[in-house]
Amino acid sequence: MAPVTVRATGAILAAISVSMVLFSYFLGKHHSKNSSSKRKTKPSSAIASKTTPRNGLVDAIGNTPLIRINSLSEATGCEILGKCEFLNPGGSVKDRVAVKIIEEALESGKLVEGGVVTEGSAGSTAISLATVAPAYGCKCHVVIPDDAAIEKSQILEALGAYVERVRPVSITHRDHFVNIARRRAAEANELALKHKKEEQSCVKGREQINGHMYEGETQDSSCSSNCKGGFFADQFENLANYRAHYEGTGPEIWEQTGGHVDAFVAAAGTGGTVAGVSRFLQEKNPNVRCFLIDPPGSGLFNKVTRGVMYTKEEAEGRRLKNPFDTITEGIGINRLTQNFLMAKLDSAFRGTDREAVEMSRYLLKNDGLFLGSSSAMNCVGAVKVAQSIGPGKTIVTILCDSGMRHLSKFFSAEYLSQYDLTPKATGLEFIESR
């Protein structure tokens, strides 16, 4: 992918304003699931009431609406439903993951209040972590590839996160954004340990009179620090990601459909969403068919359909640049994560950049849905599933985030024209056969 050259400062102000409006909607419309502002993530046993305010930002996460996508339903003869994850306070499905990761880390002692959460992210998980971390008294340090939409790093900075933009390289390279984030957490832990030893040294060196600590002198400034250590969120391999969807998103879908769901489809980046939802739904009903929609450059389609991710020449270890040939962000990968390995999938479909671009404009025109690139790809997947299994079925997908984070690339006419992706379709003729 080409480096981003468009600066969308004005767009970011709009994005932040819309996010605040969405958050106000949740505070006014949805109820509190318990009395703690730091609630535990748990299975949804009942869809939230719309009459009682929720208790703070963290409690506003989850129980998002499941809506019928009218244009796609009418065109395919299936009931195509979208889980509106863009209505979470942080604006994406990753809010659930951020809460689950931080809560489990705090419970285990791997993270303490005042500590810094580090993550390597193409944007959405980082934004969610930066959104919820302050609610737990923590800070956020994010490493993001510099070809991600510029508005994502601008949002992160506005949220108070420390942001490092780095060149995209293979995951095997020490300077891949994920590997850098892992090092930043280790560095924070080393610094915290150093300061702890200095504090102990200062206390021991302070003068005692008659067995009591002398309070006439203040402790040397070098012995005090706000550094409480770091914790690497590790969204790709941390199974808290999978559990957030197995315990939350999946049960919500099951309850919102009354158990009447025939198929589920979604793309995978970390794999947490497709894994958690697919496993939960198939445990409730083994007849629910679950599918992957995979963007260009990703090896997951081959893995699901053929059992082999890539050819020997395409092996991840031989790539020293970004291997993904797609303008979609946050989905597609060329390795098997611990989260993706938890998925229960029946088959997979390929999606193209053109299909995703055309779908986003189709939904905006026909349904008023302003969706990001991964959401659009998921809807491409929903149509392909409908064509595959036939009419009269109920198909659910995930509307991950809105188009507000994609203005400088996915919704930029100038950017799309560089890749001959200017939208032209009037209907669904852009959907390619499997």
Enumerate domains of the chain plus CATH numbers: 58-87+240-419 (3.40.50.1100), 93-200+225-232 (3.40.50.1100)
Mean pLDDT of 303-314: 76
What pLDDT does 44 receive? Answer: 44
DSSP 235: T
Most confident of 163-177, 251-265, 420-434: 251-265
Q: How do residues 33-42 score in pLDDT, each as one tens digit? A: 333 334 444 4
Say yes or no to pLDDT of 217 above 60.
no
83: enclosing H helix or E strand: strand 79-84
pLDDT band at residue 195, thresholds of 50, 70 and 90?
confident
Taking the C-alpha atoms of residue 140 and residue 400, their distance in angstroms, rounded to an integer, is 22
Q: What is the pTM of this model?
A: 0.82
Angle between helix 353-367 and 373-389 (nearest 10): 90
Using a 10 angstrom Cβ sphere, with 0-12 exposed, 13-18 middle and 19 or more buried, the burial of residue 310 is middle
Using a 10 angstrom Cβ sphere, with 0-12 exposed, 13-18 middle and 19 or more buried, the burial of residue 75 is middle
